[in-house]
Amino acid sequence: MTDRHIDVHKAHDHEACIDTALARARALCDDRDVQLTPIREKVLAIVWKSHKPVGAYQVLDELARTHKAARPPTVYRALDFLIAEGLIHKIESLNAYLGCGEAGVAHTSQFLICRVCGTTEEIVDPKLDHALDAAARRARFTVERKMVEIAGLCGRCAG
C-alpha cells in the first residue's frame, strides 16, 4: 500500500512494481480459490513489463518465446481471466492491456494516456467517480461499467 502510488513517469524500481503485482495477484487468486496458472501468471508478468498498454499479439509474441504452443486463444483466455479477476484492465481506445495498480480494491477504470511516451497512469478519483454516477442518475441510467480514458500529454512529455 505504501509504495503502490509511485509516479510511473519517473524512473523507479520497476522490478518492485512487477513483484508487488505478482505477489498481490497470487494472494488474491488464492483467497478466491481461482487458479493463477503458469500461463496466466506469465501473461500478467508480460503485461506488467512496463506502464504502457500492451497489445494482445505483443503478449503472444513474448509468451511464445517460452511457450511454443501459445496461440491467440491462449492469450485471450488468460487476458479474460485477468480482467475478470481485476488484475488488468483493457484500454479500449488502444485495444491494449495494462496491469491494474489497484487490484483487489473496488474502483473504476480511469486512465491518463500519454500520446507521446505511451505511459498510461491509472488514477482513482472518487470525485470523478461520483460525477459519473451523478450523470448517469440524472439520465435514469443504471451503471454497470464505467470507462474513462483521457488522452494527452503527461507532465514529462508536456515539458
**Stretch 77-106 residues interacting with Zn ion (CB under 5 A):** 100, 102
User: Quick check: helix, strand or coil at residue 111?
Assistant: strand
Rounded Cα distance, 38 and 105, in Å: 24
Q: Which three cell numbers stand for residue 64?
A: 511464445
Rounded Cα distance, 125 and 95, in Å: 23
Closest approach of Cβ 110 to Zn ion, in Å? Answer: 8
Contacts of 121 (CB under 8 A, 6+ apart): 8, 9, 51, 111, 112, 154
20 binds DNA (CB under 7 A): no
Q: What is the DSSP letter of 70?
A: -
68 binds a copy of itself (CB under 8 A): no
135 binds a copy of itself (CB under 8 A): yes
Report what 18 binds from DNA, Zn ion, a copy of itself, none; CB cut-off 5-8 Å by kind.
Answer: none
> Of residues 11, 33, 66, 142, which one binds a copy of itself by CB under 8 A?
142
Rounded Cα distance, 44 and 103, in Å: 12
Closest approach of Cβ 133 to a copy of itself, in Å? Answer: 9
Binding window for DNA (CB under 7 A); candidates: 13-21, 35-43, 104-112, 146-154: 35-43
> Of residues 17, 25, 78, 154, which one binds DNA by CB under 7 A?
78
**Stretch 8-67 residues interacting with Zn ion (CB under 5 A):** 14, 17
73 binds DNA (CB under 7 A): yes
Closest approach of Cβ 142 to Zn ion, in Å? Answer: 22
Q: What is the DSSP string of 76-102?
A: HHHHHHHHHTTSEEEETTTTEEEE-TT
Residues that bind Zn ion (CB under 5 A): 14, 17, 100, 102
